[in-house]
Amino acid sequence: MRFTRFVAFAATLLVFSVISTFSQTSTTTPAKPKTSTTTTKPTPSTYDRTLLKPSLLKDTAPATYQVKFVTTRGEFTVTVTRAWAPNGADRFYNLVKHHYYDGARVYRVIPNFVAQFGISAYPVVNAAWANKATIKDDPVTQKNVRGTLTFAKTSQPNTRTTEIFINLKDNTGLDSQGFAPFAVVDDKGINIVEMFYDQYPDPAEGGEQPNMEKGGEQYIASKFPKLDTIKSATIVGGTSSTTSAKPAATATKPKP
């Protein structure tokens, strides 16, 4: 997969992940999010074979649904509201339904900016989603505030694929660049997200994303072993009774 780009600092954001590069904001924000997670090295035989055929993953998502993430830092749940960004919500629904994110690293974490994931643990899956498995842009109806989830993309139209970032602070400068939030982390879960390992150099700046995509978990584990891992991401139901589909309030970042 291509590293979705995040048009950072002035003109272009970093490009990360498969086609779904996410451009990031301009001069007011750091480079696009990219990082990996820590977990046991997955075996090549465990991925859902449907992931090798992106064109088949076209189910329409429910109006609202929740996804539970189990990570090496703990668990958190996100609530997706399809009306916020229908194309993004549908793509996320299909990826989670087929366990795309299971075993993936939170490979790019920039303190006080974003935590990004979306590179599969399996090189063959990354190759299947590279360059052409894009979705059309959604109108930006929500602000990129702390705790919201947004697909990464390049500065070009309709380039989203699998890369997602979680805003670690209010990054509303991204709103005007076409980054459309589609979900939000629950209030307590944001504390887990803020603990993801963030001490490696930005892989977008170092040109490591292509290597991560080609080498998958084996490469990431050898070069960036401390990155946190998404053990599983599972659809668990409709709107949470403990969250109100709104961004989490600002909180102090807990110590790892």
**Mean pLDDT for the stretch of residues 11-35:** 37
* DSSP bridge partners of 65: 80
What is the total residue count of the chain?
256
What does DSSP say about strands 181-185 and 148-151: parallel, antiparallel, or unpaired?
A: antiparallel
Residue 240 · residue 188 · CB < 8 Å: no
pLDDT computed for residue 36 by the predictor: 38
Q: pLDDT by residue (tens digit) across 146-168?
A: 999 999 999 999 999 999 999 99
pLDDT computed for residue 39 by the predictor: 41
Residue 188 · residue 254 · CB < 8 Å: no
* DSSP bridge partners of 110: 114
Structure token pair of residue 217: 């978990």
Residue 117 · residue 3 · CB < 8 Å: no
Per-position DSSP letters for 44-88, written without gaps between them = TT-S-GGGG-GGG--PPPPSEEEEEEEETTEEEEEEEEGGG-HHH
Q: Does residue 184 carry a pLDDT above 90?
A: yes
Q: Output DSSP code: residue 173.
A: G
Residue 2 · residue 15 · CB < 8 Å: yes
* Domains recognised in the chain with CATH numbers: 4-40+63-237 (2.40.100.10)
Entry pTM? 0.80
Distance of CA 35 to the CA centre of its chain: 9
Helices (H), 77-133: 86-97, 123-129
Q: Report the C-alpha gap between 182 and 148 in whole angstroms.
A: 7
Q: Does residue 136 carry a pLDDT above 90?
A: yes
pLDDT computed for residue 131 by the predictor: 74
10-24, 143-157, 174-188: lowest mean pLDDT where? 10-24
Cβ atoms within 10 Å, residue 171:
27
